[in-house]
Amino acid sequence: MRVLSGIQPSGRLHIGNYFGAIRQHLQLQAENEGFYFVADYHAMTSGPKPEDLRQYKLAVAMDYLALGLDTEKTVFWCQSDVPEVTELFWLLSCVTPMGLLQRCVSYKDKVAQGLSANHALFAYPVLQAADILIFDSDIVPVGADQKQHIEVTRDIAGYFNNTFGETFVIPKDHIVESVAVVPGVDGQKMSKSYNNTIEIFEPEKSVKKKVMRMVTDSTPVEAPKDPDKCNVFALLRLVASESELKEWDQKYRKGGTGYGDAKKKLAELLIEYFKPYRQKREELEKDLGYVNKVLKDGAQRAKAVASKTLARARKAVGLD
């Protein structure tokens, strides 16, 4: 099966991105043909400064490589190095009803968060559809918030196939429901745009500081606490072993343990969890030539596939 996903370089990657998306991407590469890319065209919709876009792009690539992306097996590139997707975006736009995009919640959410309501932000799902369809993707692993975009992709592929004849593979989504939403330090969804993240490769000291400042309710130390209503416990679920989790579940329910203790444990486990990848991340930082080469090689491999699908679509619409 061909598995494809993209991740936006709109900031430093955080543990919500890891447990909601990256971990699945890396697991799926073993048994599938992985196609993963840094979605820099998409990141432009949030209006980054050019120097930030450059910097975050490389940081995302280094994070993936440090966390275990297999460069032999998996195709890994930067979206804008395969501009064929932008042409397919246009062909797809011509069969995409406005109503389909008007129903997309991510556009409304982003405008509500203060992003300017420009055309690219509105058309964002069509570019995402082009990303997916140009590589004949079978499966698209994403976090739960992206499910609607995969449905839109399926709809657009359907409209195109109905209008111009069978051209595109209709993809499936792949969502791990058990880690649907990872909360941030303030209890809202962890997101680069809410300033509430714990970055995957943030300095250990700073991980500790952020965890110790996580928002909890005011239940006194002696009183029993509900693990299902606690952000700290939600993150513990991601990094603790089954037996540790059981132990902490009991401590919460019994009372007598404060949130401070749970936070200390969480900081310790988070640091331990990502420790094996830290050294690799530091080595990559010193070898940007290698990182750029991986991306360039990946772009070549991706282009070989994309240009064939684009030619097929051009022919279908009569642009050959």
User: Which residues would be at the binding site for ligand ADP (CB under 6 A)?
Assistant: 7-8, 10, 16-17, 20-21, 142-143, 145-146, 181-182, 189-193
24 is in the binding site of which of ligand TRP, ligand ADP, none (Cβ under 5 to 8 A by kind)?
none
42 is in the binding site of which of ligand ADP, ligand TRP, none (Cβ under 5 to 8 A by kind)?
ligand TRP
The residue among 8 and 197 lying less far from ligand TRP, judged by its C-beta, is: 8
192 is in the binding site of which of ligand ADP, ligand TRP, none (Cβ under 5 to 8 A by kind)?
ligand ADP
x-marked contacts with ligand TRP along 8-47 as a string, rule CB under 6 A: x------------------------------x--x-----
131 is in the binding site of which of ligand TRP, ligand ADP, none (Cβ under 5 to 8 A by kind)?
ligand TRP
9 is in the binding site of which of ligand TRP, ligand ADP, none (Cβ under 5 to 8 A by kind)?
none
Q: Is 5 in the site for ligand TRP (CB under 6 A)?
A: yes
The residue among 57 and 263 lying less far from ligand TRP, judged by its C-beta, is: 57
Strand order in the sheet with 2-7: 75-78, 33-38, 2-7, 139-141, 172-174
The residue among 25 and 251 lying less far from ligand ADP, judged by its C-beta, is: 25
The residue among 124 and 248 lying less far from ligand TRP, judged by its C-beta, is: 124
Q: Let me know if 110 is a catalytic residue.
A: yes
Q: Let me know if 189 is a catalytic residue.
A: yes
Residues 145-184 that bind ligand TRP (CB under 6 A): 146, 149
The residue among 56 and 160 lying less far from ligand ADP, judged by its C-beta, is: 56
Residue 161 Cβ vs ligand ADP, minimum distance, rounded to whole Å: 26
Q: Given the residues 110, 210, 251, 263, select the one marked as catalytic.
A: 110
Residue 274 Cβ vs ligand ADP, minimum distance, rounded to whole Å: 16
* Residue pair 33/1 in contact by the 8 Å Cβ criterion: yes
Of 59, 61, 121, 140, the one binding ligand TRP (CB under 6 A) is: 140
The pairs formed by 263-267 with CB atoms below 8 angstroms and a separation of 24 or more are 263/211, 263/212, 263/214, 263/232, 264/212, 265/236, 265/240, 266/211, 266/232, 266/235, 266/236, 266/239, 267/207, 267/208, 267/211, 267/212
Q: Is 80 in the site for ligand TRP (CB under 6 A)?
A: no
Binding residue count for ligand TRP, defined by CB under 6 A: 14
Residue 135 Cβ vs ligand TRP, minimum distance, rounded to whole Å: 9
Residue nearest to ligand TRP (CB): 6
Q: Is 128 in the site for ligand TRP (CB under 6 A)?
A: yes
| Class of residue 215 by CB neighbours under 10 A (exposed 0-12, middle 13-18, buried 19+) | middle
Short-list 261, 293, 310, CA closest to 77: 293
Residues that bind ligand TRP (CB under 6 A): 4-8, 39, 42, 128, 131-132, 140, 142, 146, 149
- Catalytic sites, residue numbers: 110, 189, 192
